[in-house]
Amino acid sequence: MGLFSKRTDVKKSGAEAGLGITRKYNLAGGKSYVVEESPPDISFDAFVNIISTTSSDACKKMVGLAVSRQHPDLIKQKYGLETTPIYWLATRTGPEVISPTNLGILTHTMIQFIDANPCGVILLDGIEYLVSNNDFNKVLRVIDQVNDHISQGKALMIIPVDPRAFEQKELALLERNMEKISTKLKTK
């Protein structure tokens, strides 16, 4: 198998240990969110807060999957993640690496995670990198396909986007089927 034909199986996602903190982000399941920011600090904070706390709704404890341009070791160290699978968008090979040009593997990985974790949260960081390695419309189709699976259940997806990297038309297409969060996430 070559670099671009590798099939990625999502590792079993375990719940992160509770950190004795309360949920501060009020993001509804069954929705995807575009967060306009650079760097993606609010998105990562929301992701970590959601998977590290319990909620009063049907999904008491949510598990996460992160796909990022940042190296997984840096993310684990910075945010204290121990059990959350983190995939690195890179051209290198490895068990936790997804090539930015292999959108089929990326799509399969995220949909497989949603199917296995109805109360899951996906952080897709690095959309600018995906677009620079592919056509914008192809990346948009991936997001729309994953969003279709998200909207059928209680899972959610957070996508940080640097608005400087996109044309207004592209931002409008990204935000078409998702909730836009431009400055601060709504807190409880």
Q: How far apart are CA 23 and CA 49, in angstroms?
A: 6
Among 68, 84, 87, 55, residue whose Cα is nearest residue 154? 55
Helical spans, DSSP H, in 96-135: 103-116, 127-133
Reported residue count of the chain is 188
Percent of the chain with pLDDT over 70: 81
Find residue 54's DSSP bridge partners: 61
Q: What is the pLDDT of residues 103-157, one digit of tens each?
A: 999 999 999 999 999 889 999 999 999 999 999 999 999 999 999 999 998 899 9
Q: What is the pLDDT of residues 9-36, one digit of tens each?
A: 554 455 555 555 566 777 888 999 999 9
DSSP-based three-state secondary structure for 151: helix
CATH class entry, domain 31-53+60-181? alpha beta
For residue 186, pLDDT over 50 is answered with no
pTM of this structure? 0.84
Q: What is the mean pLDDT of residues 80-86?
A: 92
**Amino acid at site 85:** P
Distances in whole angstroms, Cα of residue 43 to Cα of each of 66, 78, 160: 11, 14, 6
For residue 7, pLDDT over 50 is answered with no
Structure tokens at 163: 């608005």
